[in-house]
Amino acid sequence: MKSNSREKAINLRRQGLSYSEILKQIPVAKSTLSLWLRSVNLSKRQEQRLTEKKLASMRRGAIAKRNQRITLTREIQCEAIKQIGDISKRELFLIGVALYWAEGSKEKEGRPGSGVQFSNSDPKMLKLFIEWLTEICGVEKEDISFGIYIHENSKNNLDTVKKYWSEKLNFPLSHFPYAYFKKNKIKTNRKNIGDSYFGLLKLKVRKSSTLNRKIAGWIKGVVKYYC
């Protein structure tokens, strides 16, 4: 029986079947099969077929792992969202203070009187910060304007960029009066190019030096409590 299995395995190999395909028909140890088939030569076409099958198998494995990661990530994030629940007004207050501590412009000793400025490229973060300004700080939307910072090779897309930010933040185009063009480096590995590039937005609040000082006090209050 062992001799018959060996002959069958050799014949299947000569037909260009892979080890895994042969093992499905002849259930022996892989080491035994390797020993039986070590002298069997394959044609270039058969080798190419096996290589293509191996690559296809690797691709299927990679896709399966990727799908597993996506499913696991979705499950983790759904559970994490539940843990947040409703956000109180005080929690929104503290979130805004932390955001400004990280991304806001602080008043400098040598340049007193600077107003509230907040820079970011994430429209969701900007929307949250605007909600904080209007709901917690009592800022009117009419007093908020934006400056757009983009690379100079995107000058021709400025109208599209303004429209993008206008729609994302629900502000009229008149609130985007300024655009600043950054010089491009000759060699760069930037990924934020093309149709998905909308630059960075700097939010400014008119006549807000007093508010900026108050925010600085809130930040000091957080620092004092935790640090």
pLDDT per residue as tens digits for the range 126-146: 999 999 999 999 999 999 999
Compute the distance between CA of residue 107 and CA of residue 129 in angstroms, rounded to an integer: 19
Map residue 118 onto helix, strand or coil.
strand
pTM summary value: 0.71
Domain definitions of the chain by residue range: 2-62, 89-226
pLDDT of 109: 67
Compute the distance between CA of residue 206 and CA of residue 117 in angstroms, rounded to an integer: 10
Q: Tell me: the pLDDT tens digits for 157-202? A: 999 999 999 999 999 999 999 999 988 764 555 555 567 889 999 9
Whether the CB-CB separation of 154 and 161 falls below 8 Å is answered with yes
- By DSSP bridging, strand 144-151 and strand 178-182 are parallel
pLDDT of 185: 65
Q: Tell me: the pLDDT tens digits for 61-111? A: 889 999 999 999 999 999 999 999 999 999 999 999 999 999 999 887 666
Counting other chains too, the contacts that 25-34 makes at CB distance below 8 Å and 24 or more residues apart are 33/9
- pLDDT tops 80 at residue 156: yes
144 strand-pairing partners: 205
